[in-house]
Chains A and B, each alone.
Chain A
């Protein structure tokens, strides 16, 4: 910067007081902030007004009515898979909406549980010191992460689940017991029918759980105070099995199994899962487990090597190193990405529309929208569902993050 011999900025760089006053007003941060926000508000308002007026005009021209009255209209189509009682011609479009939500949640929850478990296994395989095992896991992860889920989904549907044998030649997965039967109509399985006194077994189980919790707490306290451990694993398992088991047998085994039987051309009885459901489930599990595996691996690798060496040096056994040192430190790095992957699983379950599993998008956004119009209401309702799920999951994540941070301090 030019400086004159007295150490002041050169003449042309000194502030010009008369013009400075003029610009002072516009250079005030508060004024500018209000100005920009007003500009933005005007732009957004104009856009909204433009879209609204166009929409209103279009609806008027096409003589379309709006509002949520259509939810009370009876729907004339059936869904291939339903968790609630619904009859075409009797149920309304509101039932269709609820049915869709339940189907989406059902497949997502199962997929999340299974893919998390599988992801943990693959992630640990990836970390194995056995070269072959770790490379197999690597190939698995790379193949399923680098191909589109939709192609995988259609591949499983056409290439595997449509090629299953016909009803006459069903595969019995339970090995002759006929409680788990797979054919091209789906998976049929025995389903428990609770008897009158089953609630007592449930109560016994709850009692067993609370006793185990108290017992473990006592053992931990004893360990902290006296340094003497008390074996907890075996007694806990024994209690959890024996107490409910005894009550169950004493009340006369109040649980019947509804077993699928071949009647005519199809199986009846038991619970049935259609091929589209199985396909979606398998595709979601395999696709997302490869992502889970990577986040598990990254989380475990984020634990400082020195921690492991120190743990070994003070003589902890490998199992103790894993449970006391690695897992507690890896979890904060694993859980946040994992929760957002759970969210992705819920969102990706909407690909069901490609193979005809009746999820929310397929039932409501496709079939209902095609039949009734009402695009705005239907799109809004569908998006509202996904946004609710997403916001609740981020809320859970925030709670978790806060807890982890507090523990660290």
Chain B
């Protein structure tokens, strides 16, 4: 074979029609006479819309004013954002005492601190961190938000939560720096890495007990002022209701979905009935049911406050929706996985816990995030039955004497806020879908389905 040329011929640049702006325009916007007309019409529509929005929302808008009247004096056809800015605290925190807002902010900060390790690839024991967020954080946050005296139960739970948070944080920091877990680090620090397993366990238990006692004494003197739930409101209340809904929907949904797929007829029938009942009616009817029927269900003299009623209703409703998401995920698991697990002698709970659920949950995550978006949006319905959530505050702005009639701007602001949160979540879920679909790439028949 004769070698004609020693070096590889460098690749030629793509033709001009492929890489230039003109080429792109020709291909995507002006490819035919019909498309050209369509593009021009669309451009005109975009121009009108953007122009209107720009003038109303920015160019002619009033940002600083003391009342709506003043807004009108400055500009008559722009938005009066001053009212929204004036009500900003209420939109976020409702009627929560202004001196105590740090408690809400601290609560928010703590949940971020608690959950950040879940996104750090080097940190191990993510299941524990996730479970502790769901089961312990609510007690700490609940006390932080409502305050007042603590019973023995609350004292213990708050202590556990604080110990767990400290442990999580230390564990994450140590994992990031040294690449080992917190127990390992402690054992090495005490020079017991060669000691028998039993000694190591006792050492760890001892440390845990000491920190528990220390934190218990520290927190027993720590008390914050009581704030009634009627003062809760704004985005804070929306996040509390949807947060509890989200946290309880997943475990509840998993239980209901397993019940629905159970071999035991009675359990299956009960699960199906429960799921179908709540899935076939609108959320607002469930909320009305909660506020009108729960008082009848309770023993005489036992009064649930409206917030608790609503939270229970939201939890039941969402667990049933989540159950269907989980069921879809379970159905996607091939039968061979169940049979394989049975054939190596695993029982029902071992099969589900060790083989099926880990695979199913991974594939379900995008859909679960999707359900969370729906749940978060649906939480605005609690304003209909009289809770002062973010929508309740947004509607109250226009009834305030200084801002009388200012309805549109708060609603637009609220819609924007929801859009940012939900859009970010849906982008994230799409990102997860791509990330988790690595093993299944060959199954997607269509390569152009990229976005």
A residues adjacent to B (C-beta < 8 A) = 33, 36-37, 40-41, 44, 51, 54-55, 57-59, 61, 129-133, 136, 142-143, 145-152, 154-155, 158-159, 301-306, 343, 347-348, 350-351, 353-354, 361, 365-366, 369, 375-376, 379, 382-383, 386-387, 389-391
Chain A contacts of B280 at CB under 8 A?
343, 386-387, 389-391
Known: A347-B281, A383-B285. A130 touches B267 (CB 8 A): no
Complex-state Cα separation, A146 to B388, whole angstroms: 22
Known contacts A36-B264, A147-B418; can you find 15 more A-B pairs with CB under 8 A?
Answer: A40-B264, A58-B300, A130-B38, A132-B43, A136-B45, A142-B423, A143-B419, A146-B422, A151-B411, A155-B415, A304-B446, A343-B280, A375-B296, A379-B285, A391-B276
Partner of B39, one of A37, A132, A158: A132
Chain B contacts of A54 at CB under 8 A?
296-300
Dominant SS among interface residues on chain B: helix
B29–A131 touching, CB < 8 Å: yes
B42–A133 touching, CB < 8 Å: yes
Chain A, residue nearest B378 (CB): A148
Chain A contacts of B29 at CB under 8 A?
130-132
Dominant SS among interface residues on chain A: helix
A154–B411 touching, CB < 8 Å: yes
Complex-state Cα separation, A376 to B292, whole angstroms: 8
Q: Distance in Å from the Cβ of A161 to the closest Cβ of chain B? A: 12
Judged by a CB distance under 8 angstroms, whether B95 is at the interface is no
Judged by a CB distance under 8 angstroms, whether B331 is at the interface is no
B266–A354 touching, CB < 8 Å: no
Chain B contacts of A51 at CB under 8 A?
297
Complex-state Cα separation, A203 to B407, whole angstroms: 52
B296–A379 touching, CB < 8 Å: no
Task: Name 19 interchain pairs, CB-CB below 8 A, sorted by A.
Answer: A54-B300, A58-B298, A130-B29, A133-B38, A136-B46, A145-B422, A147-B377, A147-B422, A148-B391, A159-B411, A302-B446, A305-B446, A305-B448, A350-B284, A361-B284, A369-B292, A383-B277, A387-B277, A387-B280
Partner of A150, one of B39, B264, B380: B380
Q: Which residues of B (364-390) have their CB < 8 Å from a CB of A? A: 373, 377-378, 380-381, 383-384
Judged by a CB distance under 8 angstroms, whether B289 is at the interface is yes
Chain B, residue nearest A138 (CB): B451
Judged by a CB distance under 8 angstroms, whether B28 is at the interface is yes
Chain A, residue nearest B279 (CB): A390
Judged by a CB distance under 8 angstroms, whether B97 is at the interface is no
Chain A, residue nearest B449 (CB): A301
A386–B282 touching, CB < 8 Å: yes
A130–B39 touching, CB < 8 Å: yes
A152–B415 touching, CB < 8 Å: yes
Chain A contacts of B284 at CB under 8 A?
350-351, 353, 361
Complex-state Cα separation, A375 to B294, whole angstroms: 10
Judged by a CB distance under 8 angstroms, whether B295 is at the interface is yes
A133–B39 touching, CB < 8 Å: yes
Chain B contacts of A151 at CB under 8 A?
380, 391, 394, 411, 414-415, 418
Complex-state Cα separation, A407 to B395, whole angstroms: 53
Judged by a CB distance under 8 angstroms, whether B5 is at the interface is no
Complex-state Cα separation, A366 to B285, whole angstroms: 10
B380–A148 touching, CB < 8 Å: yes
Known: A55-B296, A350-B282, A387-B280. A37 touches B267 (CB 8 A): yes
Chain B contacts of A152 at CB under 8 A?
415
Q: Distance in Å from the Cβ of A309 to the closest Cβ of chain B? A: 12
Chain B contacts of A351 at CB under 8 A?
282, 284, 381, 384
Partner of B28, one of A130, A159, A347, A387: A130
B31–A130 touching, CB < 8 Å: yes
